[in-house]
Amino acid sequence: MDFELSEEQRAFRDAARAFARGELAPHAAAWDEGKIFPRDTIAAAGALGFCGMYCPEAVGGMGMTRLDATIILEELAAGCTSTAAFISIHNMAAWMACTWGSEQVREEFCQQLVTGEKLASYCLTEPNAGSDAASITTRAVRDGDDYRISGGKTFISGAGSTDVLVLMTRTGAPDSGAGGITAFAVPADAPGIDYGKNETKLGWNSQPTRAIAFDAVRVPAAYRLGNEGEGFKIAMKGLDGGRINIAACSVGAAQATLDLAQVYVQERRQFGKPIAAFQALQFKLADMATELVAARQMVRLAASKLDRDDPDRTTYCAMAKRFATDIGFHICNEALQLHGGYGYLREYPIERFFRDARVHQILEGTNEIMRVIIARRILEAGATETIR
């Protein structure tokens, strides 16, 4: 197995790193403080191809591998984790629309989604359907050439500030479970859609988070993604990629805080010498670096499994998401500790990375659900052979 990046991947990495340092990092604190959604900056990322990374080339996407995308997202997250995380969600939603959308969806939405001129939100979670996504109740009822959609979603990233909602609804009977779910691409300004307040959150302040209510929203049947009943399959395929995307964002946040800590411990002096001279802190840095490399390699392994359509891709994506988001937050926390009281101040970026990385252990399926996915696979007959 070759762990080295190709020349093309290094070019992607370098472009993303330059964008993160020049366009994200200098503004991240102001976006966080002011709860500013930087649409213009995201559009600039789209001009570089970062808003349609793995969307089909037929609609103007870059057609990258998932491994390529994780390399880019890691670099972007080191500049502003919150904004990079939204870009990762947009990519997931845009990919769903551009892969399963009708010709009308592709013509009306996709060409602008891949450039970042239009942005997408992913709408799955409901007040009573979080980890149990198959229990959603938002309903789409056929009405001639249209559907009428009623219900509500919650914790929707970008809601109220995006242009397209990739929406999971129930078209089957109330007890139809996963097989009764259908996906749609819905214009975000359609009559009958109402947005709640922008939630006050611990982190992720550069992207709004709102509830959405749908009151008999009329949606053309041409906006359906795939066939009726295929929505859960589409959602789960999207989440495999979404999980490694958010894992990559955790790795990027962790790398940024490790870099900051490495500089700080050599500048900060106590007892007549830099605190980097104390072996206890050297050991802490060594552990942080080791864990970071392990998390990065697990993310890239899972991405390569997804690219190859490996039978155990979902298990590996769950492993990578669980490990990298836990380790990423741990490294941010350790970096804050190394900064002492200064790490707790808004003046230093450490506390923002710490806050932004925390939610990664919750979204795209909580890490407890990741453990359920992994354990179920391990307990299947002969499954242990597949993870060696």
Active site (catalytic) residues? 364
Single-letter amino acid code for the residue at 18: A
Closest Cα partner for 69 from 271, 240, 274, 280? 240
The residue written with tokens 């072996």 in the block is: 279
Whether 117 and 106 have beta carbons less than 8 Å apart is answered as: no
The number of C-alpha atoms within 13 Å of 20 and in the hemisphere containing its C-beta is 27
User: Measured between alpha carbons, how far apart are the two ends of the chain, in Å?
Assistant: 14
How far apart (Å, rounded) are the C-alpha atoms in residues 235 and 303?
17
With beta carbons less than 8 A apart as the criterion, state whether 71 and 9 touch.
yes
Number of H helices, E strands in the chain: 12, 10
Q: Using alpha carbons, select from 190, 171, 192 the residue that is nearest to residue 180.
A: 171
Phi, psi of 87 (to 5 degrees): -60, -35
HSE of 125 in the Cβ direction (CA atoms, 13 Å)?
19
Contact criterion met (CB below 8 Å) for 232 and 134: yes
Q: In sequence order, what are the beta bridge partners of 121?
A: 165
Q: Is 220 helix (H, G, I), strand (E, B) or coil?
A: strand
Q: Are 38 and 161 in contact (CB under 8 A)?
A: no
d(CA 134, CA 225): 17
Query: Residues, the chain, total?
Result: 388
User: Rounded CA gap, 363 and 130, in Å?
Assistant: 9
Contact (CB, 8 A) for 307 and 68: no
CA 128 to chain centre: 22
Closest CA to 215 of 159, 153, 273, 164: 153
Q: Which DSSP symbol is given to 207? A: S
Q: Indicate the helix (H) or strand (E) that contains 93.
A: helix 81-100
